[in-house]
Amino acid sequence: MLKHDAGPAVGPIASTSCGKVRGVARDGVEHYLGIPYAAAPVGHLRFARPAPAPAWDGVLDATELGPTAPQNPYAGAIARVLPTVIVSGDKFLNLNIVAPARQDQQLRPVMVWFHGGSLQHGSNSLAGYRGGSFARDGIVYVAVNYRLGAEGFSVLAGAPLNLGLADQLAALHWVQREITAFGGDPGRVTVFGQSAGGNTVAALLAHPNAELLFSRAIIQSGPLTADPADKAGRITKKIARDLKIPATREAFAAHTPAELLAAQERVTAGSTPLTGGPSYALALDDSLVPAGPAEALASGAGSGIPLLIGTTTDEARLWLVPSGLVMKLKSLHLAVARRKVGITAAAVKLFKRNRPYSVTGEILGALATDKLLRVPMNQLADARLSGPAPTYVYEFAWESPVGHLRAAHAVELGFVFDDLASPDSLGLAGSTAPQELAAQMHRAWVDFATSGSPGWEAWNALRPVKTFDGGTNPVVHAPRDDERAALTT
């Protein structure tokens, strides 16, 4: 049995199957931080599937943020707009819960957040993910830490694949068992995630047990992909070569997380999700990811679960603009890139014609945004038309004035969380971001989690897209459909 100090003398207490936890209450909202949902993945549990969290004596003090998964901060110019919080400790398979103060026995909708970060960055400790706005609006909000990088997504002989995804499934099982103690309804759970978190939500939606674990899903700017193990394991092999060890569980476990992170930093220097280079990916795996999410979902997996899905207008600008790369890319780079991913010359001409004042880097960014995210999203929405559950599509189009980011990847986060004053949002959206837009976007997410509808028409043959532009936020039918069609031929 684990023993914990009794913690503060006052504060709300919830009882879980492992023991009692004490949080803190402020302004009608209860906060429980760093609750373990699985055992610390160290020792014989390192590079293993998550094991149940051990019970504890007394009352667990859940008033301070728990440890974060081992990770490196973002490198280069992007670090200016994407923060990193690192809290040391082994018990980083933890979650935060922010809930309305319990005044009756009513159970409330639950939203479970899986952060992004290229499967190697991020945590539930980031200020922008505090989630108080969801609790304010009647939601029990849960933010999950999961294994990242080499610890969570290595492809090693002798170790299971997709350990970070297995952690997320363990967290969802925990929510089903325990969330009633915090006022949450296990029958009304919405999972949502952005970027890499959206990627894992797509994989969770395709999982055979999805309907037993959650009832709605939101994918924000998430790739719908998984790679064959050989391809997903390229970064693992590079780290192994860097450390002069075999790519086996035994060899990797003989090195500390810090040593693996140092090697990871060396082999990924200069790589980005847009320009390529070594990176982590979900690996095709008979037990967890038997097919790529796009293929599985298009074939009917998750078709009974309502889905809210969307992108930002200028996703790729996050990697192109802060680095200055947008002004360095030339026609040769565009020609090589479009051949690599199968974009026709005619499609390039169309994108150029529709953006007569854009430089080559901006054209490449627009093509990448659509090819990697918007077109697959449209194809998934089309495929789900034959299923029983609705799909709702959005586009975040408000243009941030910060460093010419415009509607770049991740700019929407402060709006979804209705927390424009958080330092995370200020770094991406600036101090003049419109509060009314945040209120409307956040309300759509809350309404979807509560009722299954975000407030606009579901996807149909007219291709309706709710466009959060900071003006009238219209529903636009088939936006830029000529470009979508050009990338699917």
CA distance 307 to 69: 28
Active-site option among 30, 178, 315, 412: 315
Cβ neighbours of 105 (radius 10 Å): 7
Q: Confidence class of residue 103 from pLDDT cuts 50, 70 and 90?
A: confident
Is the pLDDT at 46 greater than 60, yes or no? yes
Is the pLDDT at 323 greater than 80, yes or no? yes
Question: Is residue 195 flagged as an active site residue?
Answer: yes
Question: Is residue 333 flagged as an active site residue?
Answer: no
CA distance 438 to 187: 28
Give residue 9's pLDDT: 55
* % pLDDT > 70, the chain: 98
Question: Is residue 409 flagged as an active site residue?
Answer: yes
Q: What are the φ and ψ backbone dihedral angles of 421, each rounded to 5 degrees?
A: -85, -10
Give residue 1's pLDDT: 38
Distance linking the first and last C-alpha atoms of the chain: 60
Active-site option among 195, 215, 279, 425: 195
| Residue in 21, 121, 1 with CA at minimum distance from that of residue 71 | 121
Residue ranges with strand state E in 268-328? 307-312
* DSSP state string for 381-449: HHHGGGSSS-EEEEEE---B-GGG-BS-TTTTHHHHTT-TTSHHHHHHH-TT--HHHHHHHHHHHHHHH
Domains, the chain: 2-323+373-486 (3.40.50.1820)
Q: Is 167 left (phi over 0), alpha (psi -120 to 50) or beta?
A: alpha
Instruction: Give pLDDT tens digits for 192-230.
Output: 999 999 999 999 999 999 999 999 999 999 999 999 999
Average pLDDT in the 401-414 region?
A: 98
Instruction: Give pLDDT tens digits for 436-465.
Output: 999 999 999 999 999 999 999 999 999 999
Instruction: Give pLDDT tens digits for 135-150.
Output: 999 999 999 999 999 9
Average pLDDT in the 415-426 region?
A: 98
Give residue 7's pLDDT: 46
CA distance 486 to 351: 9
Q: In sequence order, what are the beta bridge partners of 14?
A: 21
Any idea what the Cα angle at residue 129 is, between residues 123 and 132, rounded to 5°? 145
**Mean pLDDT of all residues belonging to the chain:** 96
Q: Confidence class of residue 25 from pLDDT cuts 50, 70 and 90?
A: very high
Give residue 148's pLDDT: 98
Q: Confidence class of residue 4 from pLDDT cuts 50, 70 and 90?
A: low
pTM score, two decimals? 0.97
Q: Confidence class of residue 102 from pLDDT cuts 50, 70 and 90?
A: confident
Cα 25 to Cα 128, 296, 428, distances in angstroms: 19, 42, 30
Q: Is 364 exposed, middle or buried (0-12, 13-18, 19+ CB in 10 A)?
A: buried
Active-site option among 31, 115, 207, 409: 409
Residue 352 half-sphere exposure toward CB, CA atoms < 13 A? 11
Is the pLDDT at 16 greater than 70, yes or no? yes
